[in-house]
Amino acid sequence: MTLKIESKPDHFFRIDLYGYMKAVRESLATFINAAHTDEVVMVSNATHGINVILHNLQLKEGDILIGFNTTYVAISSTLRRYADATPTPQLQIITLTFPTTPEAITSTFRRHIEQNVKRTAGTRVVALIDAIISNPGALLPWEELVQICKENGIVSVVDAAHAIGQIPLDMQRADPDYLVSNCHKWLYTKRSSSILYTPKRNHQSMRWTFPISIGYTSPPNEVKFAEQYEWLGTIDYAPYLSVIPALQFRKELGGEDRIRSYCHGLAREGGSKMAEILGTELMDKDDKFTANMVDVLLPLSEEEIKILPSDAPDIIHTRLLENWHCMSAVYKHNGKIWTRASAQIWIEVSDFEYVARALATICRDLVQEATGSQ
């Protein structure tokens, strides 16, 4: 595709592109069961998508913005940016601590709303809901959370960055107000390509693309949601266009169920082996939150964590990459240090075992270095 674009760029950009992009959006709209092709547009990444939604919501003084402590760092920075600016919405952060249960999470959310969401006429309440958290790599009962939002007149902005290609998405069933998901994570497309989904009922609230480009229509003219996103300045379109071959490839592999089944099974089995080798435990013992990622406790006690450098997760990342040529995200949560391993179709249980041995060695070394230097 890149060769095609580069060999006749003017022809491609002026004549071919529109048809290709329509096919991309059509296939993705079908894939996520959106009611209409024009509810799906492409953006560069989920962070951009969430930002452009919040940008358009134009939160004002007294509006309420709800997030979670487990929100991805760029998104929590974004929520903070809105809380820093005037007009100033009220930022409320709900704390989740894993291990927990889906029932506890939905109950926490309901309780928070009952106790903290006090509104007057005209107050807008917006909730930033993760479908699958990043650290830990946990699948949330997000569709129930969206439902709770609807019951309470809360706008649901779903950061489903990890979702497409990892879990089934059904927009007509879940019916969020907005949703973004990265195709370059689990859908096998080229980096970077992401969907921004907005149901037709919310199109008129999405007047501003970022950047603004030729598709911008002044109020009170109708917002042409999908049309605006056709051209936002020159970019490399190959990543967006890689959606079609990616979807085809997934079909050839045996389809979504087969991919999911392999990856999920591998996550559970691989995770268990890691816990065994590390002498620790899984965060999600009962498979309540596992899609294709698994979180395992690292063999570091609370006392040991206290004497380690504060950037221990990054140090572990560097050693995994430099010395062991592998990677498993390491992060702090609820006073402990965990690792999140991702199961993919090109790896198997022995890879999880390898990573676990690497982590065991690195953790031991870190503790020795820390106690040695005391």
Site residues for its own copies per CB under 8 A: 8, 10-11, 14-15, 44-48, 50-52, 55, 73-74, 77-78, 80-81, 84, 182, 184, 190-192, 208, 210-216, 218-219, 232-236, 239, 317-318, 321-322, 325, 327
Of the pair 50, 139, the CB lying nearest its own copies is at 50
Please state, in angstroms and rounded to a whole number, the distance separating the CA atoms of residues 191 and 213. Answer: 23
Q: Name the residue nearer to its own copies (CB basis): 23 or 315.
A: 315
Nearest approach in angstroms of CB 353 to its own copies is 19
Please say which residue, 112 or 317, places its beta carbon nearer to its own copies: 317
Give whichever of 191 and 200 is closer to its own copies, judged by the CB atom: 191
**Minimum CB distance to its own copies smaller for 218 or for 301:** 218
Copy the structure tokens of residue 83: 């809380």
Of the pair 30, 318, the CB lying nearest its own copies is at: 318
Q: What's the min distance (Å) between Cβ of 199 and its own copies?
A: 22
Smallest gap from residue 317 Cβ to its own copies (A): 6
d(CA 259, CA 236): 29
Smallest distance, its own copies to C-beta of residue 58, A: 9
Measured CA to CA, the distance from residue 246 to residue 43 in angstroms comes to: 17
Residue 280 neighbours by CB distance under 10 Å? 21
Beta bridge partners of 295: 340
Q: Minimum CB separation from its own copies for residue 111, in Å? A: 28
Return the residue matching tokens 């050693």.
319
Output the smallest distance, CB 52 to its own copies, in A.
Answer: 8
Interior/surface letters 74-99, b for 16+ CB within 10 angstroms, e for the rest:
bbbebbeebbeeeeebbbbbbebebb
Phi-psi sector, 363: left (phi>0), alpha (psi -120 to 50), beta: alpha
Containing 155, the helix (H) or strand (E) segment is strand 155-159
Least distance between its own copies and beta carbon 288 (Å)? 28
Between 21 and 105, CB nearer to its own copies: 21
| Helix spans in the chain (H) | 2-7, 9-11, 17-31, 46-57, 73-84, 102-116, 142-151, 171-174, 183-186, 225-228, 238-241, 243-253, 256-278, 302-307, 312-319, 349-372
Per the CB < 8 A criterion, the answer to whether 157 and 178 are in contact is yes
How many residues are recorded in the chain?
374
- CA 112/CA 242 separation, integer angstroms: 41
- Least distance between its own copies and beta carbon 15 (Å): 6
Nearer to its own copies, 25 or 317 (CB): 317
